[in-house]
């Protein structure tokens, strides 16, 4: 069961069908392209919208922060903005100072220090602090070291009837703001100035409820670009005038707000943020949201889109593979069918029932197989007929050859036997003389020699067969072999007074050959050269060679070979007419045997001849392991051997 399951997986996804792989590939491509496109466009659009949302949110929070900071300061200032029930510019009594100042301090916990400054020179020194309540540890009254504000701009402004706010001032890691507000009597006359110092860190608490996700924060920046309030105490006082949104607003305060995405925020992380100018204070409220969090939504969406894409891709792949398998199954069957039929099994039939063009194709393939089967049967029949007629022709040839053989052999034997018969008849004569007996016995001896020659040719033929195959080879010096053969002919040479000359134009005349058969070749060629030469003539034998072959030439100045016979003299039993006239006895087997032996050695035998002038036979033999086999080709002399 498990094996089948794996087999299905292999067949469906990894199987060797190229067509199916192509189909699956294209299907996946076509299926997933719109998906990728859609996913990318969705993520892009969501990202865009999200960015706009984030900016809007940040701007909103920054505006809220600005409002809170403004309110905070306004609240304190409204607390110290007094109109008291005094009617005249009479001096305020000392115990009334304390009630007034301690009441204010209690009412507004952000006031760390509050004083009453004199503005009525008739009753006190104008610009001098009359009484101060300070929140150092616990609230306490300060009656000594009172300060002189008479020449300060803050005092002059406030004693002129306007509220004055100082630039925030950093003290012990905290920012403090001084605010001066005139005190009016019921006649709207200024009877004093309230000087209050506010702890700005309190703004932080009021801003802390403003949330930007879980990691976003809001901070206030002073006109000089320093952080006045931040959740992170360490950042208070830090110069952030290099942050674009801060510097943009501070440079051009008409620019009520500014925002930016993915820049390095105060905490050093990549953030997006928005800043809002607080008109009444000349401060900037900045909301920053770390990209890590603000982008997490996009990341989540991206992961979800990717997961969706992968899941869809998997489904597409499985589906495409399955569909491809189903579509390609019949094609695979047709392919198998064509390959089986193509390899010669015309009985094979393809069975497809898809009801479409593929089924038509299968039907046509089956028809073709049927057709081929018929053709094959026809071809078989023709081959058999051809084989039969060839066999008959061969049989006929063999029978002709046999007849020819018998006729030739009979004729060859007949000639010397008739001579012997005739000679024996002569012996039976009563008056036969000794000389006659001697003459007759010489004739009988010669005929007997002829018979031996014929028998020798027949024995050689039976020994080497009609097609010689080289065997029992050994390296042999051919020059030495030819020399030995020549010596064996010394008697015939003497009788016919023929001179034989041996020459050698190669130092190395060694070749790997079968000694017995090659000896037969030279015996035959030299025998013919002597036999078909006139008395007193000359025969030449020469051995030359290359690195790979040896060429032996046997030349004579004899009767030559007539042109009309040149094509046939290597055929068995063939004898030229001039040869029969010259040498009555001969089998016509010698050259046939020579050719068979030389061919068997991988060599060549050919000749050049002019009738009544000369004949040269050439034998080219490869040296075998004595040289490069088959290196040099003998000169091409077109005799049909
Ligand atoms: P045979 O010599 O017994 O007739 P071969 O097969 O040796 O048979 O030769 C076939 C024929 O080739 C010869 O009958 C002859 O016509 C011709 N022939 C061979 N060698 C020579 C030669 N040296 N000069 C002239 N004719 C030749």
User: Is residue 425 in some structural domain?
Assistant: no
Could you identify the residue written with the tokens 């075998």? 624
Question: pLDDT for 41-76, tens place per residue?
Answer: 988 898 888 888 888 888 888 888 888 888 887 877
Domain coverage including residue 547: 465-622
Instruction: State the CATH number of the domain containing residue 91.
Output: 3.30.450.20
The ligand 1 atom at the shortest distance from the C-alpha of residue 579 is: 16
Instruction: State the CATH number of the domain containing residue 506.
Output: 3.30.565.10
DSSP assignment string, 196-216: EEEETHHHHHHHHT--BTTTB
pLDDT band at 466 (very low <50, low <70, confident <90, very high): low
Q: How far apart are the C-alpha atoms of 25 and 18, rounded to whole Å?
A: 10
Q: Does the beta carbon of 591 lie inside 6 Å of ligand 1?
A: yes
**Which residue, of 235, 259, 294, is where some domain finishes?**
294
Could you identify the residue written with the tokens 């020549």? 486
Alpha helices of 109-164 — where are they, by DSSP H? 153-159
- The pLDDT, as a whole number, for residue 411 is 77
The ligand 1 atom at the shortest distance from the C-alpha of residue 529 is: 23
Question: pLDDT for 86-113, tens place per residue?
Answer: 766 677 777 788 888 888 888 887 888 8
Q: Does the beta carbon of 528 lie inside 6 Å of ligand 1?
A: yes
Q: Does the beta carbon of 529 lie inside 6 Å of ligand 1?
A: yes
Q: How far apart are the C-alpha atoms of 56 and 65, rounded to whole Å?
A: 14
* C-alpha of residue 527 to centroid of ligand 1, in Å: 9
Q: Does the beta carbon of 586 lie inside 6 Å of ligand 1?
A: yes
Q: How far apart are the C-alpha atoms of 221 and 286, rounded to whole Å?
A: 8
Q: Does the beta carbon of 175 lie inside 6 Å of ligand 1?
A: no
For residues 422 and 640, which has the higher predicted lDDT (pLDDT)? 422
Count the domains in the chain.
2
User: Is residue 347 in some structural domain?
Assistant: no
In DSSP terms, 134 is beta-bridged to 113, 140
* C-alpha of residue 610 to centroid of ligand 1, in Å: 14
User: Is residue 460 in some structural domain?
Assistant: no
**Which residue, of 265, 294, 323, is where some domain finishes?**
294
Q: Does the beta carbon of 76 lie inside 6 Å of ligand 1?
A: no
Question: pLDDT for 259-294, tens place per residue?
Answer: 888 889 888 889 888 888 988 788 888 888 888 888
* C-alpha of residue 570 to centroid of ligand 1, in Å: 9
User: Is residue 428 in some structural domain?
Assistant: no
The ligand 1 atom at the shortest distance from the C-alpha of residue 578 is: 16
Share of the chain above pLDDT 70, in %: 93
Q: Does the beta carbon of 579 lie inside 6 Å of ligand 1?
A: yes
Question: pLDDT for 127-150, tens place per residue?
Answer: 999 989 988 767 788 888 889 999
To the nearest 10°, the Cα dihedral for 242, 243, 244, 248? -70
User: Is residue 341 in some structural domain?
Assistant: no
Q: Does the beta carbon of 569 lie inside 6 Å of ligand 1?
A: yes
User: 249 in helix, strand or coil?
Assistant: helix
pLDDT band at 324 (very low <50, low <70, confident <90, very high): confident
Q: CB of 117 within 8 A of CB of 111?
A: no
**Which residue, of 294, 326, 351, is where some domain finishes?**
294
Q: Which of 539, 588, 610 to mutate to test the pocket of ligand 1 (most atoms within 8 A of CB)?
A: 588
Q: Does the beta carbon of 526 lie inside 6 Å of ligand 1?
A: no
User: Is residue 447 in some structural domain?
Assistant: no
The rounded radius of gyration (Å) of the Cα atoms in the chain is 66
Residue 350 has pLDDT above 70, yes or no: yes
41 token code pair:
């466009």
Buried b (16+ CB within 10 A) or exposed e, 405-433: beebbeebeebbeebbeebeeeeeeeeee
User: Is residue 401 in some structural domain?
Assistant: no
* C-alpha of residue 624 to centroid of ligand 1, in Å: 29
């Amino acid at each position: 069961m498990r094996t089948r399951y794996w087999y299905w997986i292999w067949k469906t996804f990894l199987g060797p069908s190229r067509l199916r792989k192509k189909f699956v590939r294209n299907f996946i491509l076509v299926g997933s392209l719109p998906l990728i496109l859609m996913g990318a466009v969705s993520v892009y659009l969501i990202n865009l919208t999200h960015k706009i949302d984030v900016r809007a949110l940040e701007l909103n929070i920054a505006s809220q922060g600005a409002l809170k900071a403004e309110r905070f300061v306004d609240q304190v200032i409204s607390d110290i903005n007094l109109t008291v029930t005094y009617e005249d510019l009479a001096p305020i009594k000392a115990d009334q100072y304390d009630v007034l100042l301690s009441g204010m301090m209690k009412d507004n916990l952000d006031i760390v220090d509050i004083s009453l400054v004199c503005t009525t020179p008739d009753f006190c020194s104008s610009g001098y602090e009359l009484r101060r309540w300070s929140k150092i540890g616990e609230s306490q009254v300060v009656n000594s070291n009172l300060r002189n504000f008479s020449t300060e701009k803050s005092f002059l402004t406030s004693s002129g009837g306007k509220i004055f706010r100082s630039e925030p001032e950093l003290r012990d890691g905290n920012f403090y703001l001084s605010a001066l507000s005139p005190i009016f009597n019921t006649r709207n006359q200024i009877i004093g100035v309230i000087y209050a110092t506010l702890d700005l860190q309190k703004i932080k608490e009021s801003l802390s409820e403003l949330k930007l996700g879980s990691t976003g924060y809001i901070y206030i920046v002073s006109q000089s670009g320093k952080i006045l309030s931040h959740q992170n105490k360490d950042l208070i006082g830090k110069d952030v005038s290099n942050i674009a949104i801060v510097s943009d607003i501070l440079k051009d305060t008409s620019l009520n707000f500014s925002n930016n995405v993915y820049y390095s925020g105060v905490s050093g992380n990549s953030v997006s943020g928005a800043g809002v100018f607080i008109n009444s204070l000349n401060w900037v409220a900045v909301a920053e949201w770390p990209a890590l969090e603000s982008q997490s939504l996009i990341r989540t969406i991206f992961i979800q889109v990717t997961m969706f894409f992968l899941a869809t891709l998997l489904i597409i792949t499985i589906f495409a593979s399955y569909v491809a398998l189903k579509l390609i199954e019949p094609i695979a069957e047709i392919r198998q069918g064509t390959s089986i039929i193509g390899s010669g099994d015309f009985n094979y039939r393809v069975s497809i029932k898809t009801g479409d063009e593929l089924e038509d194709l299968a039907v046509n393939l089956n028809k073709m197989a049927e057709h081929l089967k018929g053709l094959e049967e026809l071809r078989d029949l023709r081959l058999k007929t051809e084989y039969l007629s060839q066999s008959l022709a061969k049989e006929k040839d063999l029978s002709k050859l046999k007849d020819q053989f018998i006729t030739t052999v009979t004729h060859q034997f007949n000639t010397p036997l008739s001579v012997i018969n005739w000679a024996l008849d002569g012996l039976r004569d009563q008056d036969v003389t000794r000389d006659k007996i001697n003459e007759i016995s010489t004739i009988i001896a010669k005929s007997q020699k002829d018979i031996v020659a014929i028998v020798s040719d027949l024995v050689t033929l039976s020994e080497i067969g009609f097609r010689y195959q080289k065997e029992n080879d050994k390296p042999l010096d051919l020059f030495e072999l030819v020399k030995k053969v020549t010596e064996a002919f010394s008697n015939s040479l003497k009788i016919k007074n023929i001179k034989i000359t041996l020459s050698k134009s190669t130092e190395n005349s060694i070749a790997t050959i079968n000694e017995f058969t090659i000896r037969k070749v030279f015996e035959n060629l030299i025998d013919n050269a002597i036999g078909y030469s006139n008395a007193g003539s000359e025969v030449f034998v020469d051995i030359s060679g290359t690195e790979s072959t040896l060429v032996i030439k046997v030349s004579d100045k004899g009767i030559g070979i007539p042109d009309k016979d040149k094509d046939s003299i290597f055929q068995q039993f063939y004898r030229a007419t001039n040869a029969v006239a010259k040498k009555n006895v001969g089998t016509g087997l010698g050259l046939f045997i020579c050719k068979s032996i030389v061919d068997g050695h991988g060599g060549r035998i050919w000749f050049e001849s002019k009738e009544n002038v000369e004949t040269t036979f050439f034998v080219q033999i490869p040296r075998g392991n004595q040289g490069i086999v088959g290196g040099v080709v003998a000169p091409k002399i077109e005799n049909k051997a």
